[in-house]
Chains A and B, each alone.
Chain A
């Protein structure tokens, strides 16, 4: 019964290392979103995919952040040369519809990234 899954659930990286976070959305879902949730805060939008097309990456905080969804299903968020301020929970969400964020999103459990 598959909900949205994310891996790894926890990641510790040394400053300067590259990391890759994986999201498996619900099968058939058209839309996929990535969010960054800092401690004690609400999720902040990073990027949006409609199928394989990245339609919005306005929330990516720097060019060290890169996301892809090459076949319109699994997505990877990559962070290069990690910094301490990148420490957060990274949430992935999917939706069966296109047209952005108008509809309910189904969230994964998140990946907690700690940069030391």
Chain B
């Protein structure tokens, strides 16, 4: 069975500040890890994914995440927040022969001017 825990349902940063959104996962098989972003009244859009290989993954809009097996973490970061980054962010895990992707409860990011 797989699961995801996102620490912090709300994160607020100032424009230009570092963004750090935390995700820890649980998986009995090598995980496939994803970060999705959801803007109001829109579907989820993939930011980045980890499957195998390099543990530091770069995605769209300047976001990146690092897979740390020893810590079972896949935290999302961006060096400098922009107002347009304000949205809901979801971490997700799948793996093995599973057909389902398990999502965390989400973190709402607010960016203050």
Contact = CB atoms under 8 A, between A and B. Distances in A.
- Chain A facing B: main interface SS: loop
B51 interface: yes
Nearest to B6: A42
Interface string B1-31: 0001000010000000000000000000000
A101 B98 CA distance: 7
B63 to A, nearest CB: 15
A104 B46 contact: yes
A25 interface: no
Given A42-B90, A102-B51, A102-B95, A107 B44 contact: yes
Interface stretch (A11-19, A52-60, A74-82): A52-60
Interface residues of B, number: 27
Contact of B43 (A4, A40, A42): A4
Nearest to B9: A40
Interface string A89-116: 0010100000011111111111000000
Contacts of A44: 103
A66 B44 CA distance: 23
Interface of B: 4, 9, 32, 34, 36, 41-46, 49, 51, 90, 92, 94-95, 97-106
Given A45-B100, A101-B94, A109-B43, 12 more contacts: A33-B99, A33-B100, A42-B4, A42-B90, A42-B104, A42-B106, A43-B90, A56-B99, A91-B44, A93-B43, A100-B100, A101-B32
